[in-house]
C-alpha cells in the first residue's frame, strides 16, 4: 500500500537483524575504557587480556601446571619432625621403669624425625607424571583454542558492528532523499500543483524511513554494546570503530574442502588438544592397572625422650637417641573392589576422550567445508548486488525525473525507490559478509594468524 514499505523491505530488515544481532559471549565488569577509536586488532588484544573465557582458560592451564609439578615432586622422600610434651598429675606410669606411680607431678616429652620413600609402586607415580604432562599440554592447547575462538567472536562482533553502522548511515541517506522530495512536494501541494494522494504517500514514506533509521541506530548500538561485552570493557558511546579495507584481497579459487580441512587439522589447536586428552586418558588406564601391583617403601628415623628432673634436657635427648630403619611391602588383596572400579572408570574416561576427539574432527571438517561454501556464496552475492544496485540506481534516476515532471505517480516512484533502497542495504551487508567469510577461511588456512598464548 502507498506510504508503507513493501514486504520485501521488511524481509531485508529481518536479514539485517539476523546478521548484526547474532549471539555473542557475554562478559561484564572491567576498568574504565576511555579510548575514542578502536581497531579490530586492538579489540582482539583487549579481549584476550580481559575476556572471561580467556582468563578462565589461563587459570586452567596454570592449575594443570601445578598438578604436573606435584606429580614430579611426589617422587621425593618425605621428612617429618614431631615433638610431644606431657604434664601428668596423680597416678602415672614411669617412662623409664614402666611402673605405676601415685601422687606424682611429672613432665616428660618425646622427639622424633622420620623419613620415607617409595621404592616401587607398580610404576603408578611414573604413569601419573606422564598423565599430568599430557593434561598440561592439552590445557595449553585448549587455552590457545579458547583464545582463537575469542578472537573470532570479537572479529565477528566488530564486523557486525561496522555493518550495522553502515546500514544506519544508509538509512539516514535514504531518509534524507525522501525528506527532500517531501519538501519539494509540500511546496507544490500548497500551490495546488500536486495530487494529494501522491503527496501523502511521500509523507508516509518519509515517516517509515525515519522509523527504519531509528531501528538501524538501535541495532548499531546493540552491536557496539555486544562488542564491548566481548572485550570486557565498559561501554563508551564516543568510541569510533576504524573501518576495514574496502574488500578482502584473498581468493579461494584454487582451494578445495579437503585441502582446507587438512591445513586446519595440522595447524589448529582444537584437534591437538583432543589428541593430548586422549593420551592422558590412555595413560590413566595404565596408572589404574598399576594399583594391582604390590608397593614397596623404605623408612628411617631418629627418636629421643626426656623426663623432667632427670638431668639437663639436651643431655637426656642426646643420651636417649634411638635409630630405626624399615621396609614396608603392601600387597593389595581385596580393597572393596576399589581398584577394579577405578580401572573401569579410567576406561570410560578413555572412551569419552576418543569420542570427543572424533567429534572435534567431524566438527572441524563440517566447519571448513561450510566456510569455503559460504565464502564463495558471499563473493557471488556481492558481485550480483553490484550489478543490481547499478541497474536500480539508473531506474530510480529515471523514475525521479519522470515523477518530478508529473508523468508518473507516487506508486511507481516509491516502487523504484524501495527497490534501490533494498539493494543498497543488501550490498552493505554483503560487503561485510565477504569480509567475515574471508577471515574465517584465512583462519583455517593459517593466513590470518591469531595471537598465541604467552
Q: What percentage of residues in the chain have a pLDDT greater than 90?
A: 49
Q: How large is the angle between the packed helices 124-190 and 7-20, nearest 10 degrees?
A: 150
CA distance 362 to 169: 41
Q: What's the pLDDT at 253?
A: 63
Compute the average pLDDT of residues 312-327: 87
The answer, yes or no, to whether residue 432 has pLDDT greater than 50, is yes
CB 404 within 8 A of CB 380: no
Identify which has the larger pLDDT, 50 or 450. 50
CB 280 within 8 A of CB 138: yes
80-120+294-331 and 7-76+123-293+337-445 share a CATH fold: no
Compute the average pLDDT of residues 160-165: 93
Domain 80-120+294-331 sits in CATH at 2.20.200
Backbone dihedral angles phi then psi of residue 127, each to the nearest 5 degrees: -65, -35
Domain limits of the chain?
7-76+123-293+337-445, 80-120+294-331
CB 277 within 8 A of CB 357: yes
CA distance 9 to 164: 16
The answer, yes or no, to whether residue 281 has pLDDT greater than 90, is yes
The answer, yes or no, to whether residue 317 has pLDDT greater than 70, is yes
The answer, yes or no, to whether residue 96 has pLDDT greater than 80, is no
- pLDDT confidence tier of residue 448, bands split at 50, 70 and 90: low
Tell me what the pLDDT averaged over the chain comes to.
84
The answer, yes or no, to whether residue 30 has pLDDT greater than 70, is no
Cell digits of residue 203 = 509523507
Q: What is the pLDDT of residues 378-427, one digit of tens each?
A: 999 999 999 999 999 999 999 989 988 888 888 888 899 889 988 988 99
Q: What's the pLDDT at 219?
A: 94
The backbone region for 242, taken as left when phi is positive above 0, alpha when psi lies in -120 to 50, beta otherwise, is: beta
Compute the average pLDDT of residues 242-264: 79
Q: What is the pLDDT of residues 171-228, one digit of tens each?
A: 998 899 889 888 988 988 888 888 888 889 889 989 999 999 999 999 999 999 999 9
The answer, yes or no, to whether residue 454 has pLDDT greater than 70, is no
CB 324 within 8 A of CB 303: yes
Compute the average pLDDT of residues 36-54: 91
How would CATH label the architecture of 7-76+123-293+337-445? Up-down Bundle (1.20)
CB 146 within 8 A of CB 54: yes
Sheet holding 78-93, edge to edge: 78-93, 100-120, 295-307, 322-330
Q: What's the pLDDT at 282?
A: 95
Q: What's the pLDDT at 447?
A: 77
The answer, yes or no, to whether residue 17 has pLDDT greater than 80, is no
Q: What's the pLDDT at 16?
A: 44
Q: What's the pLDDT at 316?
A: 83
Q: What is the pLDDT of residues 107-155, one digit of tens each?
A: 778 889 999 999 988 888 999 999 999 999 999 999 999 999 999 999 9
The answer, yes or no, to whether residue 33 has pLDDT greater than 60, is no
Identify which has the larger pLDDT, 375 or 103. 375
Amino acid at each position: 500500500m502507498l506510504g508503507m514499505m513493501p514486504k520485501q523491505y521488511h524481509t531485508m530488515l529481518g536479514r539485517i537483524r539476523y546478521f548484526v544481532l547474532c549471539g555473542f559471549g557475554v562478559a561484564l565488569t572491567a576498568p574504565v575504557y576511555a579510548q575514542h577509536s578502536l581497531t579490530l586488532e586492538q579489540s582482539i588484544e583487549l579481549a584476550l587480556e580481559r575476556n572471561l573465557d580467556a582468563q578462565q582458560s589461563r587459570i586452567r592451564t596454570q592449575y594443570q601446571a601445578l598438578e604436573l609439578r606435584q606429580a614430579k615432586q611426589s617422587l621425593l622422600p618425605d621428612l617429618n619432625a614431631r615433638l610431644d610434651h606431657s604434664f601428668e598429675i596423680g597416678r602415672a606410669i614411669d617412662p623409664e621403669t614402666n611402673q605405676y606411680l601415685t601422687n606424682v607431678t611429672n613432665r616428660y616429652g618425646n622427639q622424633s624425625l622420620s623419613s620415607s620413600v617409595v621404592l616401587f609402586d607398580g610404576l603408578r607415580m611414573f604413569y601419573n607424571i606422564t598423565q599430568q604432562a599430557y593434561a598440561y599440554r592439552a590445557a595449553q592447547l585448549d587455552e590457545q583454542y579458547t583464545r582463537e575462538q575469542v578472537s573470532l567472536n570479537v572479529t565477528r562482533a566488530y564486523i557486525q558492528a561496522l555493518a550495522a553502522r553502515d546500514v544506519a548511515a544508509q538509512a539516514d541517506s535514504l531518509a534524507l532523499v525522501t525528506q527532500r522530495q517531501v519538501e519539494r512536494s509540500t511546496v507544490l501541494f500548497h500551490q495546488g500543483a500536486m495530487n494529494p494522494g501522491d503527496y501523502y504517500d511521500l509523507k508516509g514514506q518519509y515517516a517509515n524511513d525515519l522509523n527504519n533509521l531509528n531501528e538501524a541506530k538501535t541495532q548499531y548500538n546493540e552491536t557496539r554494546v555486544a562488542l564491548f561485552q566481548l572485550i570486557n570493557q565498559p561501554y563508551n558511546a564516543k568510541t569510533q570503530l576504524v573501518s576495514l579495507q574496502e574488500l578482502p584481497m584473498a581468493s579461494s579459487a584454487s582451494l578445495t574442502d579437503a585441502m582446507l580441512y587438512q591445513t586446519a587439522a595440522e595447524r589448529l589447536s582444537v584437534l591437538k588438544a583432543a589428541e593430548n586428552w586422549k593420551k592422558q586418558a590412555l595413560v590413566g588406564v595404565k596408572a589404574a592397572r598399576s594399583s594391582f601391583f604390590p608397593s614397596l617403601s623404605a623408612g628411617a628415623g631418629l627418636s629421643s625422650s626426656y623426663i623432667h628432673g632427670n638431668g639437663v634436657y639436651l643431655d637426656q635427648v642426646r643420651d636417649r637417641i634411638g635409630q630405626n630403619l624399615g621396609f614396608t611391602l603392601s600387597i593389595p588383596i581385596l580393597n572393596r573392589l576399589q581398584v577394579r572400579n577405578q580401572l573401569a572408570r579410567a576406561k570410560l574416561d578413555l572412551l569419552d576422550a576418543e569420542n570427543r576427539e572424533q567429534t572435534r574432527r567431524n566438527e572441524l571438517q563440517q566447519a571448513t567445508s561450510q566456510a569455503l561454501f559460504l565464502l564463495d556464496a558471499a563473493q557471488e552475492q556481492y558481485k550480483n548486488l553490484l550489478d543490481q544496485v547499478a541497474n536500480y540506481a539508473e531506474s530510480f534516476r529515471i523514475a525521479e525525473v519522470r515523477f518530478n515532471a508529473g508523468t508518473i505517480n507516487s506508486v511507481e516512484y516509491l516502487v523504484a525507490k524501495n527497490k534501490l533502497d533494498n539493494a543498497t542495504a543488501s550490498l552493505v551487508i554483503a560487503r561485510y559478509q565477504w569480509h567475515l567469510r574471508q577471515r574465517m577461511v584465512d583462519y583455517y588456512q593459517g593466513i590470518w594468524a591469531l595471537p598465541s598464548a604467552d
